[in-house]
Amino acid sequence: MMKEILETSEDLGKALQKNTRHSNAIRLVHSTKVLLEEMRSDEGWALFFGNVFEFCMEHDMDIPYMEEPYILHGGHACRQPDHFTTKRYLREEIFRATIGNQLTELNLRFSGKVTDLLSISVAFIPRNGFIYSNAKEICSIVEKYYPAKFTQQERYGLEIHLNHFVVDAKNHGDLKKPITKTFFMSMPC
């Protein structure tokens, strides 16, 4: 199980270690979450259990009876529901809980706010040629996450300033150097 989970998240780990392009890392975060969700589904469990069954058959290993009642260590059978089987324990308490922990970790590290900010930060990376799609998208993120940081007038002028910035950045060599927050905020309003 851990092998499959680690294989699913391996590309994301490699991309983050290599400091690859933000846009690639954002896509990998999303696809890793989707793949882990699929793995956690009923179909994912069936596929996983089928692989385990085949492995056990190939290596002449005993396969436990999955419908047998499962008693938690230190527990008493009278305190557990009748429907708590070995299958349920392995599927819910081990398989899905482990994948759920991995998803929780990804969601904590890459919340919606973080992925939104990373996705628009791609527009300000000089080596990407200032890939720029939509000033309104950047303005909506400013309104969504930083409403108290910008006045109404500043939010109104932001889209215009972003359009000027892109034209300037593409045409001036000194703007193709790495950009700092201080530089961007010092642009005239």
pLDDT tens digits, one per residue of 123-137: 666 665 555 556 777
Query: What string of pLDDT tens digits covers the 189 residues of the chain?
Result: 778 887 788 887 777 777 655 567 778 888 889 999 999 999 999 999 898 889 989 999 988 888 888 776 665 555 656 667 888 888 888 899 999 999 999 888 888 887 777 777 766 666 655 555 567 777 888 888 888 888 888 888 888 887 787 777 667 666 555 555 455 555 554
Q: Determine the Cα–Cα distance for residues 128 and 123; give it in Å rounded to an integer.
A: 8
Q: Determine the Cα–Cα distance for residues 3 and 31; give it in Å rounded to an integer.
A: 18
Q: In this structure, what is the dihedral angle of CA atoms 124, 126, 132, 137, given to the nearest 10 degrees?
A: -10
Nearest C-alpha neighbor of 86 from the set 63, 62, 98, 68:
68
Strand partners for 145: none
Q: Tokens in use for 189?
A: 């309003």
Q: Is the pTM of this model over 0.75?
A: no
Q: Is 69 helix (H, G, I), strand (E, B) or coil?
A: strand
Q: In this structure, what is the dihedral angle of CA atoms 41, 46, 52, 56, given to the nearest 10 degrees?
A: 160
37 to 11, 13, 29, 34, 60: CA distances (angstroms) = 16, 18, 12, 5, 31
